Amino acid sequence: MKFMPEPYKVKMVEPLRILPKEERIEAIKKAGYNTFLLNSRDVYIDLLTDSGTNAMSDRQWAGLMMGDEAYAGSENWFHLQSTVQEIMGFKHVVPTHQGRGAENLLSQILVKPGSYVPGNMYFTTTRAHQELNGGTFVDVINDDAHISDNPDVLFKGNIDLKKYEDLINKVGAENIPYICVGVTVNLAGGQPVSMKNLREVYELSKKHGIRVMFDCTRYVENAYFIKAREEGYKDKTIAEIVKEMFSYADGATMSGKKDGIVNIGGFLAMNEEELYSKATALVVVYEGMPSYGGMTGRDMEAFAIGLKEALDYNYIKHRVEQVEYLGNKLSEAGIPIVRPVGGHAVFLDARAFLPHIPQEQYPAQVLAAEIYIESGVRTMERGNVSAGRTKEGKEYFPKLELVRLTLPRRVYSYAHLDFVAEAIIRTFKRRDEIKGLKFIYEPPVLRFFTGRFEHV
Ligand SMILES: CC1=C(O)/C(=C\N=C(/C)C(=O)O)C(COP(=O)(O)O)=CN1
């Protein structure tokens, strides 16, 4: 069998349509060559993000009918709270409307001017909140993570313990409020962290009295890779692996919009009483009561159910294998991608795809636009544009200049993936005709969301 059949059947459909090519050219021009600015109605297959775009199950939809919309003490909140405590083992949970809501609370409470926050590669909103509170993000990921194609490195998300310890010795543990461990590492290509590395990072952190906070947005995918790739875990259930992972953390920020398989939701979880008390005091300023945190009761119900469904082995195996299927199909056709293939997306290496376009002309940005023109498929730039500028206004020119093909959970079939692969292969064949871009509008923060471009 080429691949396992989807472990679910369709109960409701949402018709798709593809614009004629001349209308696609108009649409992307109007969007300033920024796929974030395209209208959903003009998109055929939407691989912009797996955030909030996932399909809920019949049980989750049924859960929406159980919404207890009481302003305080909603039944659904107790269901969500106890589910997180059971799955992750944390003592306390503070609900937020989505992941960056949790990042805002955590950074405001723990990050001060002069703080250093080490982590395994940056993520845009995570670093933004750390910097907005005067902190400096320090990348302590292993060097392999910054190399696009090295298929034999199975845990490219791992933290380089020497880099981490050097930072501790340089700035002092008292200036490191926590280390942020992303499981998986989105911008490295959805790359996992091994259980061994999680354990070692935790031990080193405890030795210096430093908190370990996971960014656990895609933690189930991470658990799947541990089961599939790490010695000693193939006979463990996903739930058992997840429980051990979180035993190496003092807390976590979570975006439910990914591995919670819901369209909105998030939380900040922790064991520490003081952090909990400060977070419950602050959450009312930004998100609402500590018993809803910016979510409706029905959303919390769907979130609690989704967290449990995500632990099902057949679900997560199919989910990750779909991504691998698309990655292998492209790689076999000679398309340069990040390898090993990650958990939530295939990442095209735009620098290798378009070697004639210098990074200051944003190759990943123009490649995403060209794929849309070719096929109506929407992808996302994850390169120099996303990296933004330093405080001094300089561009980061990250080593990884990528276009992300992000698969929403339980949405597309293998036939859709074949269509995507063929479109990218056609684009690759005409890559020499593609020209670079320049900004015509550059926002001051997180410029990739609303920036606009034209050809140089
Ligand atoms: C690893 C990680 C993310 O990937 C993340 C959001 N990611 C988006 C929107 C994405 O398209 O990847 C966030 C922010 O979550 P939020 O989009 O605010 O629910 C935090 N950590």
Distance CA 394, CA 380 (A): 22
Q: Tell me, what's the pLDDT at 232?
A: 98
Would the pLDDT of 358 be above 90? yes
Active site residue 170: no
Residue 4's pLDDT band (boundaries 50, 70, 90)? confident
pLDDT, one tens digit per residue, over 275-304 is 999 999 999 999 999 999 999 999 999 999
Report the amino acid identity of residue 172. Answer: G
pLDDT, one tens digit per residue, over 310-343 is 999 999 999 999 999 999 999 999 999 999 999 9
Q: Tell me, what's the pLDDT at 96?
A: 98
Dihedral (Cα; 438, 358, 354, 440), 10-degree rounding: 0
Judge if the beta carbon of residue 221 lies within 6 A of ligand 1.
Answer: no
pLDDT, one tens digit per residue, over 363-394 is 999 999 999 999 999 999 999 999 999 989 99
Distance CA 18, CA 150 (A): 36
- Chain centre distance of CA 133: 22
CB atoms within 10 A of CB 86: 13
Q: Which of 33, 122, 123, 303 is catalytic?
A: 123
CB atoms within 10 A of CB 52: 16
Span from the CA of 51 to the centroid of ligand 1 (angstroms): 7
DSSP 345-393: EEEEEHHHH-TTS-GGG-HHHHHHHHHHHHHSEE-EEESHHHH-B-TTS
Quick one: which of 7, 54, 44, 47 has its CA closest to 23? 44
Percent of the chain with pLDDT over 70: 100
For the chain, state the CA radius of gyration: 21
Judge if the beta carbon of residue 49 lies within 6 A of ligand 1.
Answer: yes
Q: To test ligand 1's pocket by mutation, which of 217, 259, 379 has the most ligand atoms within 8 angstroms of CB?
A: 217
Beta-bridge partners for 149: 339
Q: Taking a C-beta distance cutoff of 8 angstroms, is the pair 198, 158 a contact? A: no
Residue whose CA is closest, atom 11 of ligand 1? Answer: 49
10's enclosing H/E stretch is none
Span from the CA of 218 to the centroid of ligand 1 (angstroms): 9
Judge if the beta carbon of residue 51 lies within 6 A of ligand 1.
Answer: yes
Q: To test ligand 1's pocket by mutation, which of 257, 381, 386 has the most ligand atoms within 8 angstroms of CB?
A: 257
Number of the ligand 1 atom closest to the C-alpha atom of 101: 18
pLDDT, one tens digit per residue, over 145-168 is 999 999 999 999 999 999 999 999
Handedness of CA 192, 197, 203, 209 (dihedral sign): negative
Span from the CA of 2 to the centroid of ligand 1 (angstroms): 32
Judge if the beta carbon of residue 186 lies within 6 A of ligand 1.
Answer: yes
Q: Which of 258, 298, 329, 447 is catalytic?
A: 258
Residue whose CA is closest, atom 4 of ligand 1? Answer: 186
ipTM comes to 0.99
Residue whose CA is closest, atom 17 of ligand 1? Answer: 99
218's enclosing H/E stretch is none
Instruction: Classify strands 402-406 and 380-382 as parallel, antiparallel or unpaired.
Output: antiparallel
Judge if the beta carbon of residue 217 lies within 6 A of ligand 1.
Answer: yes
CB atoms within 10 A of CB 195: 23
Active site residue 139: no
Number of the ligand 1 atom closest to the C-alpha atom of 344: 12
Span from the CA of 121 to the centroid of ligand 1 (angstroms): 14
Number of the ligand 1 atom closest to the C-alpha atom of 186: 1
Residue whose CA is closest, atom 3 of ligand 1? Answer: 217
Distance CA 270, CA 193 (A): 20
Distance CA 214, CA 73 (A): 27
Q: What is the mean pLDDT of residues 98-104?
A: 98
Distance CA 56, CA 346 (A): 23
Judge if the beta carbon of residue 215 lies within 6 A of ligand 1.
Answer: yes
Would the pLDDT of 3 be above 90? no
Would the pLDDT of 1 be above 90? no
User: Which pair of tokens denotes residue 14?
Assistant: 């949402």
Judge if the beta carbon of residue 126 lies within 6 A of ligand 1.
Answer: yes
Span from the CA of 330 to the centroid of ligand 1 (angstroms): 25
Beta-bridge partners for 377: 45
DSSP state of 248: T
Span from the CA of 165 to the centroid of ligand 1 (angstroms): 27
User: Which pair of tokens denotes residue 231?
Assistant: 């010695």
Distance CA 266, CA 249 (A): 18
**Total count of residues recorded for the chain:** 456
Would the pLDDT of 2 be above 90? no
Judge if the beta carbon of residue 257 lies within 6 A of ligand 1.
Answer: yes
pLDDT, one tens digit per residue, over 191-242 is 999 999 999 999 999 999 999 999 999 999 999 999 999 999 999 999 999 9
**Please, what is the average pLDDT of the chain?**
97
Place of tokens 């990218």: 424
Active site residue 71: yes
Q: To test ligand 1's pocket by mutation, which of 49, 100, 120 has the most ligand atoms within 8 angstroms of CB?
A: 100
List helix spans (H) across 271-311: 273-286, 297-309
Q: What is the mean pLDDT of residues 400-421?
A: 98
Would the pLDDT of 439 be above 90? yes
Q: To test ligand 1's pocket by mutation, which of 186, 385, 407 has the most ligand atoms within 8 angstroms of CB?
A: 186
DSSP state of 445: S
Q: Which of 211, 382, 409, 447 is catalytic?
A: 382
105's enclosing H/E stretch is helix 99-110
Active site residue 124: yes
Q: Tell me, what's the pLDDT at 133?
A: 98
